[in-house]
A = this chain, B = another copy of it.
Amino acid sequence: MGVRKAKAEETAAALKEAARRQFVERGYLNTKITDITAAAGRATGSFYDHFASKEDLLQALLADLHGHAHDRLAGEDHPPHDLTDRDQLREHLAVAWHLMRDNRPIMIALFEQAMAAGPGAGELWRRLTEDTWVLREHLEHLRETGHPLPGDPELVAAAMGGLLSMLAYALFTGGPKSGRSDDEVIDTLTRLLLHGLAGPGSPPA
């Protein structure tokens, strides 16, 4: 790779890093192109030498994320887990939770983008079902092995995903300063989703 190209890569990286910071500070929608270039210490026009639009930059951030996720998950098996097992359910929730925490800028951006797309686009439902296909498959497996579910796997999976993403967004964006620990949240959700409000000791209806 030549020096010129290396410098270009450096600028692109600086813009992406600046964008990440701005998205967390101002949110995706409120972040202007000039906010990003200013934060990166570059001129406004330089932005378009690397990205066609803010949307394009977001896709680049997303591609980076997928790359890293692939690195970390490479080689890992993903056999049918039993979501009625406390430890396995907790592990699923923990992985999702930490993934969102570690990538707050992207999560915030995707969330706001989906909202800005407006209704009619059906973006939220699409993403909710897409992002929870792992859960759905596990639930379908449970059903096939004779375990009764609260409802249709797609709906239950979407409900779980909605709960997770909504709570994560709310808590990560200026939630209680008192600071709930990740473990408290994950433990609470594990108990809620495993045995509900009635708790483990409750008798059948």
Please list the residues of chain A having a beta carbon within 8 angstroms of any beta carbon in chain B.
24-27, 29-30, 83-84, 86, 89, 108, 111-112, 115-125, 128, 139, 142, 147-152, 155-156, 158-159, 162-163, 165-167, 169-176, 180, 184-185, 187-189, 191-205
A117–B170 Cα distance when bound, in Å, is 12
A119-B174, A158-B167 given; name 11 further pairs at CB < 8 Å: A24-B119, A27-B119, A29-B115, A84-B198, A124-B170, A148-B199, A150-B195, A155-B188, A159-B192, A163-B166, A200-B205
**B195 A120 Cβ-Cβ under 8 A:** no
Interchain CB contact under 8 A, B201 and A201: no
Instruction: Give bound CA distance, A174 to B121, whole Å.
Output: 6
A97 to B197, CA, bound (A): 19
Contact B198 A124 (CB under 8 A): no
Given known A84-B202, A156-B188, contact A122–B174 (CB-CB < 8 A): yes
Q: How many copies does the complex hold?
A: 2
Contact B192 A195 (CB under 8 A): no
- Are A176 and B125 interface neighbours, CB within 8 A? yes
Contact in complex: A202, B199 (CB < 8 Å): no
Query: Closest B-chain residue to A128, C-beta based?
Result: B170
